[in-house]
Chains A and B, each alone.
Chain A
Amino acid sequence: MCGLALVTGMEPRAPLILHMEGVSKRYGGVRALENADLAISTGRIHAILGENGAGKSTLIKILSGVVRPDTGRIVLDGAEVAFDSPAAANRAGIVCIFQELSLVPDLSVADNIAISNPPRRFGLIDRRVQRRIAEDALARAGASDIHPMALVKDLALSRRQMVEIAKALAREPRILILDEATSALTAADVTKVFVVLKRLRDEGLALIYISHRMHEIAELADECTVFRNGSNVASYVAGTKSDDEVVEMMIGRELSHVFPAKPPPPETAATPLIEVKHLNWADRLRDISFHAHAGEVVGLGGLDGQGQRELLLALFGVLRGVTGEIRVSGAPVAPSSPNAAKSAAIGMALIPEDRKTEGLMLPMSLRDNLSFAALERISRRGVIDHARETELVGDMIDLLAIRASGTDIPAGALSGGNQQKVVIAKWLMAEPRIILLNDPTRGIDVATKQEIYQLLRRLADSGAAIIFYTTDYSELIGCCDRALVLYDGAIKRVLVGEDITERALISSALNIADDADDASSRARLQ
């Protein structure tokens, strides 16, 4: 394969189309990029790895014209360039597909694909030409099954992401940047997209691919660059570094001391704190059955979009039409809303996916946010006891070491890591027994992640059952007593203790049978 040829070093270096050198960018006191450089060649897929906050996003924003660098040069085709807007970057042939979809929900696929520069006739939009452009773009993206007249809001998330890719291709890019652009795709779509990307590479396009997922990088990339703390730490040919080496480069220290120690597994005779049997919902959750004991940390693994988020929402009472059985401490429950799930009888908490829009009310004060899920504890018959509130708020701030200049500042003024701590603290104040977490460490700095891992273990030790979904393999390996790997809405594999290895996680995530672990895991299934 391509990668192999490069490894032997026999293939000549591909022509350089873009390089950045000495690029720096500060936001206030934070150094997002520090003397970063990058070299991109045509006909290559270049992967960029790094922790959140390492500077990848800023780099991409500079390349695609969204922000301007403080220092440094960008050289495209041998000439120095500077982009003052995404439109300018597009004109130069640099197109970026961002994580937040830029599609307009109420417009059709064709309208969206041609939205920036629609074909015109007599001053009005030429719909026939536009449709042709859309069909061509969709075909190039390998998504001909999408009808150009369909409204974007009627499409599933994975389809929408394909439209986003088609939209980027319609702009005839020379450099295509994908920033976590496959996060919502189904496994089948990912495979298709990879085929498309490789074909584009063979046609001479330069691709920059940002992802957390090692297996995707392994399959796709020709070259890799690791970013850490705003600079380029290493650039190497894909396949020439082991995963451990790469992770070490990303986090800058050895892997081993990152996670707290795990206790021995609990007695299986005890009643599980939560037990789920034959849970079904729409066609996104299929016959899910599992349990968690008090003191256990259970992780949900698998590729994104396999039903992990839906499972957490179903348990928390947000989904309608959930069938199956849920038991808490042996008693059957049927939470029909978060309000019910939070009640003393069930005692669940959910740390949601998006802290800014689902976990916090950003304009409200730190104090108001912290006490929001536990208003019953700080009030008597509806009247708030301010002294008690202050006391509990103070306790939580101390417990989670939340760094803030006062309790009256708006939650929006806190850093990402602190915001997430506030969300967790808010729920801890409600004294939950079952804690559900939806990708809690996404976008959080490394130091805060450590604190969260320690906290989760402490909570489990004090008798809570923790179920958490993460896209990070190392967390599943390091934090969880058990890992449930989901594929297409069903639990494909249950891994316990020592069996939670990256190899096992990846192979079950991709629905590949892994003979070495198969027998032992089958014995442990449920």
Chain B
Amino acid sequence: MSVRAQAKISDGLLKRVDRPVVIAFACIVALLLVGSLYSRSFLSPEYLLQQLKVASFLGVIATGTMIVILLGQIDLSVPWVVAVGGMMSTAATGWGPAGEALAIPFGIACGVALGLVNGFGVAYLRIPSMIITLAVNAVAQGLMVVHTGGFSPQDSSSPAMRTLATGDLVFGLPNALIVWAVVGAGTIFLLNRTTFGRAVYGIGNRERAAYLSGIDTQRIVLIAFAIAGGLSAFGGVLLAGYASKAAQAMGDAYLLPAIASVVLGGASILGGRGSYFGTIAGVILITLLQSILSVVQMPEAGRQIIYGVVIIAMLLLYGRESRTR
């Protein structure tokens, strides 16, 4: 059979499923079964739906983190860009009817702006992403401290934000989940079916070769960080909607779980490899883990330890670098 004919058979939109994705989903199932030993309600639809709703917030944030990791970079500005999203959208709500209507886009736009700073530093100034995103994180924190005067933010979220985060308009499915589904679908499309996505994978694999192939690598990196910033901020908007207001350091608890979700989903931290389905699995896995630990009333100490051990154990299963010699 000619190469061409074989190509027609084996190529398709749905590529072969990766081993890590399968393992991650298997772990989710295993976790649920283990949890069900403790209480039957772990397998109830209400609980599962609740978990998916909570996972949606992390999911939106992790999406941005994943795109940056695919490039071979890292975004450490997540904590305070999330906070910016939450605080700026709630602030806008308090600026009259126009502000309330535009609260959500405004919050996201602030995140995009910060993401552009990250992207510019990485793409055009060639500053290692670890340090520039750290600095942007510090600046974002500084801005928010000034904005809130050091106190807890008092602004409340707009009704739109609240509906988006807490309502359930369609068939009783949580809106937040639908939001994540839409973001996810868009990301899958972006990564698999657009030239942008192809370029992202290429740059993550070998930026030098991508550059020499005539790809405008700088623009792609800039846009990717801008998207990540926007998604982090959007996560903050949703969180603020969920709690009806923003809070200091509201994003701190999301940075490491976001990175962990992406990596547990099989993406390589060095870039160039990973599918969004893996990130979905990773997000659900982390959320479930955190939830089960809290339901069995495991003290925070135990939770942290188990969290760390689980990540290491799973990475040892499929995240190991190959032997170089």
The residues of A with any CB-CB pair to B shorter than 8 Å are 316, 318, 337-339, 341-342, 350, 352, 357-364, 367-368, 371-373, 375-376, 379, 382-384, 386, 390, 393-394, 397-398, 402-408, 426, 430
Contact = CB atoms under 8 A, between A and B. Distances in A.
Interface string B263-278: 0000000001100000
Contact of B11 (A339, A360, A390, A403): A390
A379 to B, nearest CB: 5
Contacts of B3: 394, 397, 402-407
Contacts of A426: 213
Interface string B188-211: 000001111011011001101111
23 contacts: A338-B211, A339-B216, A341-B214, A342-B214, A358-B212, A360-B206, A364-B202, A364-B205, A364-B272, A368-B198, A368-B201, A372-B210, A375-B199, A376-B195, A384-B193, A386-B13, A390-B7, A390-B8, A393-B7, A394-B7, A397-B4, A404-B3, A406-B6
Contacts of A352: 209, 212
Given A357-B208, A407-B6, 11 more contacts: A358-B208, A364-B202, A364-B205, A371-B198, A373-B213, A383-B194, A384-B195, A393-B7, A394-B3, A406-B10, A407-B10
A383 B8 CA distance: 20
Of B209, B212, B214, B273, the most chain A CB neighbours within 10 A belong to B214
Interface of B: 3-4, 6-8, 10-11, 13, 15, 193-196, 198-199, 201-202, 205-206, 208-216, 272-273
B214 A430 contact: yes
A372 B198 contact: yes
A508 to B, nearest CB: 30
A405 B6 contact: yes
Contacts of B15: 408
A364 B196 contact: no
Contacts of B196: 382
Given A382-B196, A426-B213, A363 B208 contact: no
B206 A350 contact: no
Contact of A363 (B6, B205, B212, B214): B205
A406 to B, nearest CB: 5
A386 B11 contact: yes
Nearest to B6: A406
Task: Please report whether the interface of chain B is mostly helix, strand, loop or mixed according to DSSP.
Answer: helix
A375 B7 CA distance: 19
Contact of B272 (A318, A361, A403): A361
Contacts of B209: 352, 357-361
B195 A375 contact: yes
Contacts of B213: 338, 372-373, 426
Contact of B7 (A371, A403, A407): A407
Contact of A375 (B198, B206, B208, B212): B198
Contacts of A386: 11, 13, 193
Nearest to B16: A408
B212 A382 contact: no
Contacts of B216: 337, 339
A338 B8 contact: no
Nearest to A378: B195
B307 to A, nearest CB: 30
Contacts of B205: 361-364
Nearest to A316: B212
Nearest to A376: B195
Contacts of B211: 337-338
Contacts of B193: 383-384, 386
In this complex, which of A372, A386, A397 has the most chain B Cβ atoms within 10 angstroms of its Cβ?
A372
Contacts of B215: 339, 372, 375
A372 B210 CA distance: 8
Contact of B206 (A361, A376, A402): A361
A364 B199 CA distance: 12
A286 to B, nearest CB: 25
A337 B213 CA distance: 10
A208 B4 CA distance: 47
The list of the 6 closest CB pairs from A to B, nearest first, reads A342-B214, A361-B205, A394-B4, A407-B7, A375-B195, A373-B213
A32 to B, nearest CB: 19
Contact of B210 (A337, A361, A376, A394): A361
Most buried by A among B202, B206, B272, B273: B206
A497 B201 CA distance: 45
B20 to A, nearest CB: 15
A407 B11 contact: yes
A370 to B, nearest CB: 11
Contacts of B202: 361, 364, 368, 372
A210 to B, nearest CB: 24
Contacts of B208: 357-358
B214 A373 contact: yes
